[in-house]
Each structure stands twice: as C-alpha cells, then as structure tokens.
Amino acid sequence: MNYLQTYDYAIIVVYLIGLIGLGLFLKKRASASVEDYVIGGRNLPWWMLGFSGMASFLDVAGTMLIVSFLFMLGPRGLFIEFRGGAVLVLAVMMLWTGKWHRRSGCLTGAQWMIFRFGDGLGGRFAQLAKSLSVFIWVVGMLSYLAKGVGLFLSMLLPFEPMTCALGLVAVAAVYTMFSGFYGVVVTDLIQSVVIIAAVAIVSFLALDKLQGIESLSALAQSVTGNANWIKATPSTHADLLKGYEAQEALLTFALFYLFKNLFFSTGTGDDPKFFGAKNDAECAKLSFLWICVMGIRWPLMIGFAILGLFLVSTMFPDPGSVTQASELIRQFHPDVTSAGWHELVSNIINQPKQVDPALISGLQSLLGEQAWQDKLLLVGFHGDVDPERVMPAVLLNQIPTGLRGLMLIGLLAASMSTFDSNVNMAAGIFMNDLYMKYLRPAASIRETVFATWGFIVVVVIIGFLFAFQVKSINDIWGWIIMGLGSGLMMPTILRLYWWRFNGTGFATGLIVGLLAAVIQRLAFPDLDERNQLFLIGGIGLVASIAGTYLSGPTDRETLENFYRKTRPFGFWGPLKHSVDEQTRADMATEHCRDILAIPITLTFQILLFLTPMLAMVGNWPATAVCGVGLAVSCIALWAFWLRHQKVTVTDEGELGPQ
C-alpha cells in the first residue's frame, strides 16, 4: 500500500535533510562553551524560548492520545488531559518556579542542587540523584515518543512501527547532538511555523465538512454512542471504550488531576528555557507566550476528531464488523497481546502474502475486498475502533494528496521538538554535572562534546528498546505522569519550601521513589493511576523525611545565599532575618501576588483551550460564555500580575528592588 505520492516524499526528505544541515551549521556555535551547548549562552530572546516551549510540549504520541479522547467525548476530552496534556503545570512555572530557578545562575537542574544544598556530600548526593532521575525520565519519554511515532508512521509506510520510529529518532538524535540548545530552539521555531500551518489546514477541512451536515451531535452519537459530544461541562460519568475505564468517572477524574497537577507543579521550573532566560521579566513573558501558543494545539486536535467522526461513519456503517474482524485475528493469533497488536496488524496489512490465506479471506469478507486494509488500520485489540489511530487514519483518508506531506512533517516536527528538548536536557546534565565535574574535570570542550554525543546515542538506544514493552500510548503516558511522576514529586517539592530539607533527604526520597515507580511498573502494571499517586508519592515522602533527619541541616551560609537569591515562600522561618526588613516586605508582596494569581491563570489557560473547540463544534452558547470568561481572565492576569513583573537581577547576580 502506498498512501504517499512522490510530492509528499520529496517534502519529507527535504525537511529531514534540512534539519540535519541546520544541526551541522549550528555545531560550531553550540560547541563554543558548555553554557552555549546547554542553554544557548543566555543570549536567546524570550519569544524564541516561548515558541520553543510550545513546540517541546507537542508530539505525535500525545496528539494521537488527546485526539482519541476528543473523538470519544468531544471538547470534554480536555478534562481527561488535566493529567498532562492540558499542561496545567505551566501556570505555576510562569508565576514563580521558573524565576526561582533562573535566579540561581545555574545551567541545569542538577547543578541547582549544589546551589541549594552546597558542594558537600549531601549536595553532591542530591546532584547525582537528580541526574539519575532525569535520565530515567528521558528514557520513559523516549519510549513513549517512539511508540507514538511508530504507530503513526506505520500507517503511512510499509514498515513495522518500531522500524518507522527508528528512522525518525535517528534523524532527531543527529541534529540534537550537533547543535545543542541552539539547535533545539531554532528548529523548534521552524517547527512551530509548520505546526501552525497544519492547524490551519485541519481546521479548514473540518469546518468545510461541517457545512454539509445537519447535526454534528447526531453524527457523533451514531459513531461514538455519546449523546453529549458537543457539550462543554464534564459529567460525572462518561462512556468510553474498553481499555479506558479509568477515565470514565470524568468529573472526579478531572478534579483529581487538577489538584494533583497544581500540587506537582510547585516542584517544577528547572527547564533549560528558564535557566537560559535573561531576567525575571523575560521568564514571565516567555511563559505567558508559551501558554498562549499552546492554545493552537486544540483546534488542530478537535479538527482531527471531527474528521474522524465522518471517516468512521463512512468506513463502518455496521460497527459489528470491527468486533468480528478483531475476533477473527485473535482466532488465528491467540497469543497476541495488546502490546503486540499494532505490529501484528501492520504485518497483516503490509505483507498479506505471508499471512494465512483463510485469515485474509475472512477479513475481506468482513471489511470489503477492496478496502479491507484501510479499514483494518482502525480495528482495535478490544474489538472497537482504535481511537489512538483515528488521527493517522484521518491523515490518510481525509487530507488531499500534496497537503498530506505538509501535514505529515508538521506532526513529525511536533514529535521531534519534544524529543530534542528531552535529549538536550539529559545531555546538558551529563556534560555539566557528571563528565566535567566528576569524570574529566580537565577535559577540553571538544572532548566533552564528543563524550556527550556518545551519551546521547546510549540514552536513545535504551529508550527505544524500552518502547517494545509498551502496550499503548495511553498506558505509557499514564505511568510516566502518575507512576514515575509520583516517585519524583515529594523531594522536588520539599526542596523549594522547607529550610530543613537537605541533600541527603532529597537524594533518598528521589531514589526510593524511582525504585517504587519502577517496581510498580514491573510487578503491578495495571495499578490504578490514582493509587499510584498515593502509594508511590507516600513512599517518596516518607523516604525524604527519613533521609533528612538521618543527617544534619545544610550549612547556614549556603541556606542564606539560596534564600537571598531565590526569595522563596514556605517554611523558611529561620532564614527570614537574613534579609533586611524592606526586602522582606517586597518578598511578601511578590509572594501574595504570585499565589493569588493561580486561579486567574488556570481559568485563562483552560478557557483558552476550550473556547475554540466549542466554536468549531458549533456550541455557540457555551462559546459565548467561555469567550467572555477568557477575555475577563486575560485582562485580570495582565492587570494583577503580568504588568508587575520587572527585571530583578543585575549582571552581578544580586537581587535588585521589585
């Protein structure tokens, strides 16, 4: 099967060659110093960092997953993605954790541990533990990205999913290795333009389809069984397909993840973009832009969901044929698991001559002799339409030839932006916090860069191999956010808000939490995500406190330096008198403004994502209400918080007046 034409292939090849060429072009500049390689020498403008943030938070795997929930639920699918895809963490990163990390003057989150805990045994233990956690996190993210990209590309190319993923990962790894943070930001900016073009194309096609239909709500109900598809508010219960039962208690699920992400986000902020920002004001501006441009993702995804409704309605007028086709495949392959389902289906479609003729004959009888391969792409393991394949199926069947290649590179650009950001973060920590600090302190920058390239290759290979064990995108994403995220949660929060917390406590909590998350994944992979939070997060909390009191507090000089520069709120009583009375008053004003801006920012962000989706599905009363709320929250955010952000750090690194 060949879904792409010569023109489509030409666009893709030129794009990928261009990325590698750009990496080679930026190689010299990126290799000038460690600071240049890791955070771009702190010379990149805030608007480039903001667009880079948007691109780094988009990927094919996440887009396919969110489209699957929007396909099943309509705009209310946004509330399921409170667990991660709605990026609620950006609110707290914008308001205070981003600038807190920038004020340190560090290059990486691991180096920040020395700033917080000192360069003694505890601080170095924390630095190494942080490095380990980043490497594990990046391996998990790479496996997630490889799984999604593989599923996506295997629907367009005659190869198995992992083969497709390998090709794309190799290209992304090469330009990230050569160009460092400069390459990440510049390519993210280019990829943002491509992504915006993809949004425009899909939105136009979806709106054009809607012109010829009497009721989108009726179509959605006939395809998904959901009578409330165009509604805006989350219901207490939502009917989802088998394999997604954990998300059916929609309102409870959304509230749980709203508070979970608000709590979790208080420990974030050590992103290279914040370390690379020039001052506090630019931290605020890049974060606000980051949130705003993330909004363009949602019209793209609801557009795919709308086109998916039309496609499934046309391809499967009899939904029972999907169930029968799934059962037939499992009769011939009784040992197939959900993790191996997509590889099996791809082999059946792309290599039918190597498949039992009786199976092919049966599938042709059920799905049609001419279109059986196209339809089989959407048949899921559980006997339903596979919602995670709706987006690539739409690309194949609803996007005109010629535009298909442009759309494809837009979606691949999203994945590669996420890939390069994660790999660059891990590479920066390896270079700055391991190789140059412990392994080869006297190494030249050239030697260090070569060593970092080798590290990138190893991490990519490990992440790629781990992807073979992943059942589905939803499965691995749930574990990354809840299992692995819960293991990291408590020590990363305590380090910012409790003066007595020390490097030993951080390292102990982090390592024990990581071990708990890995053991849970291996021994209890089906544990409910909410239970993962309480169990693994609780283990990490106990280990953090125990480790803290097994050793003495951080030395006073280090704590005072941290407190004066960072200006955190929380349990810092013994340190408050290390600054003068006027500074304490300024800090109190800043803290009050930051905290009270939380509900305004979250309201703005949620309505920014929801309003355009409601407009696209034609729910005009809800669009009007949300639109007014969006305008009011935007004005309030500017008046109450954004206009008060000032440059607060001088070239010498000392805090100036607020």
| pLDDT tier at 10, thresholds 50, 70, 90 | confident
**418 and 377, same structural domain?**
no
- Judge whether residue 656 has pLDDT over 70: no
Lowest mean pLDDT among 53-57, 168-172, 636-640: 168-172
pTM of the model: 0.85
**94 and 46, same structural domain?**
yes
The predicted model gives 287-303 an average pLDDT of: 93
The predicted model gives 325-343 an average pLDDT of: 86
List the one residue out of 560, 440, 434 whose CA is nearest residue 499: 560
CB atoms inside a 10 Å sphere around CB 532:
24
Q: How many Å from the N-terminal Cα to the C-terminal Cα in the chain?
A: 63
Residue corresponding to tokens 């890995």: 518
Lowest mean pLDDT among 349-358, 392-401, 468-477: 468-477
Residues 451-496: tens digit of each pLDDT: 988 888 888 888 877 777 666 666 676 777 778 888 889 999 999 9
CA 65 vs CA 149, 189, 214, 246, 508: distances in Å: 12, 24, 28, 15, 34
The predicted model gives 209-220 an average pLDDT of: 85
| pLDDT tier at 629, thresholds 50, 70, 90 | very high
Lowest mean pLDDT among 209-213, 228-232, 269-273, 278-282: 209-213
Q: Give the pLDDT score at 474.
A: 67
116-129 b/e with 16+ CB inside 10 Å = b?
Answer: bbbeeebbbbbbbb
d(CA 37, CA 25): 14
Q: Which two tokens stand for residue 390?
A: 């709706």
Lowest mean pLDDT among 21-30, 313-322, 566-575: 21-30
The answer to whether 197 and 191 are in contact (CB under 8 A) is no
Answer yes or no: is 650 within a domain. Answer: no
- Judge whether residue 600 has pLDDT over 60: yes
The answer to whether 556 and 483 are in contact (CB under 8 A) is no
**288 and 324, same structural domain?**
no
Percent of the chain at pLDDT above 70?
94
Q: Give the pLDDT score at 472.
A: 65
d(CA 99, CA 657): 15
**257 and 347, same structural domain?**
no
Answer yes or no: is 655 within a domain. Answer: no
The predicted model gives 550-554 an average pLDDT of: 93
The predicted model gives 183-210 an average pLDDT of: 84
Domains contained in the chain, number: 2
Q: Give the pLDDT score at 388.
A: 84
**224 and 189, same structural domain?**
yes
- Judge whether residue 655 has pLDDT over 50: no
**583 and 468, same structural domain?**
yes
Domain CATH for 207: 1.20.1730.10
d(CA 142, CA 317): 38
d(CA 555, CA 499): 11
Residues 526-536: tens digit of each pLDDT: 787 778 888 99
The predicted model gives 602-613 an average pLDDT of: 96
Residues 577-591: tens digit of each pLDDT: 899 999 999 999 999
Q: Give the pLDDT score at 184.
A: 76
d(CA 333, CA 328): 9
- Pick from 91-100, 206-215, 376-385, 648-657 the range whose average pLDDT is largest: 91-100
**147 and 243, same structural domain?**
yes
Q: Give the pLDDT score at 343.
A: 78
- Judge whether residue 658 has pLDDT over 50: no
List the one residue out of 471, 532, 609 whose CA is nearest residue 77: 609
Q: Give the pLDDT score at 4.
A: 67
The predicted model gives 66-74 an average pLDDT of: 92
Identify the DSSP state of 83.
G
Query: Residue 237's domain spans which residues?
Result: 6-311+401-438+447-644
The predicted model gives 290-295 an average pLDDT of: 93
**487 and 366, same structural domain?**
no
Q: Where are the alpha helices (DSSP H) in 296-340?
A: 297-315, 320-332
Q: Give the pLDDT score at 109.
A: 92
Q: Give the pLDDT score at 120.
A: 93
Final residue of a structural domain among 339, 356, 384: 384
CB atoms inside a 10 Å sphere around CB 227:
12
Q: Give the pLDDT score at 632.
A: 97
The three-state secondary structure class of 148 is helix
| pLDDT tier at 650, thresholds 50, 70, 90 | very low
Q: Please, is 557 exposed, middle or buried when counting C-beta atoms within 10 Å of its C-beta (0-12, 13-18, 19+)?
A: exposed
**219 and 361, same structural domain?**
no
Sign of CA dihedral 401, 403, 405, 408: negative
Q: Give the pLDDT score at 106.
A: 94
Answer yes or no: is 464 within a domain. Answer: yes
Residues 359-369: tens digit of each pLDDT: 999 988 888 88
Can you say how many angstroms the Cα of residue 108 is from the centroid of all Cα atoms in its chain?
A: 19
Give the CA angle between residues 454, 459, 461 to the nearest 5°: 95
Answer yes or no: is 649 within a domain. Answer: no
The answer to whether 622 and 614 are in contact (CB under 8 A) is yes
Residue corresponding to tokens 């125990």: 546
Percent of the chain at pLDDT above 90?
38
The answer to whether 62 and 298 are in contact (CB under 8 A) is no
Residue 609 host element (H or E): helix 598-616
The predicted model gives 169-189 an average pLDDT of: 76
**417 and 371, same structural domain?**
no
List the one residue out of 548, 478, 469, 553 whose CA is nearest residue 508: 548
d(CA 487, CA 473): 20
Answer yes or no: is 656 within a domain. Answer: no
Q: Give the pLDDT score at 649.
A: 43
The predicted model gives 181-191 an average pLDDT of: 78
More confident residue, 503 or 180: 503
Answer yes or no: is 478 within a domain. Answer: yes
Answer yes or no: is 658 within a domain. Answer: no
Answer yes or no: is 1 within a domain. Answer: no
**244 and 205, same structural domain?**
yes
Which residue type occupies 106?
C
Which residue type occupies 266?
T
Residues 404-431: tens digit of each pLDDT: 777 777 777 767 777 777 888 888 899 8
| DSSP string for 521-548 | HHH-TT--HHHHHHHHHHHHHHHHHHHH
**254 and 346, same structural domain?**
no
List the one residue out of 97, 146, 107 whose CA is nearest residue 130: 107
Helix 46-56 vs helix 161-210: crossing angle, to nearest 10: 100
CB atoms inside a 10 Å sphere around CB 537:
24
The answer to whether 306 and 534 are in contact (CB under 8 A) is no
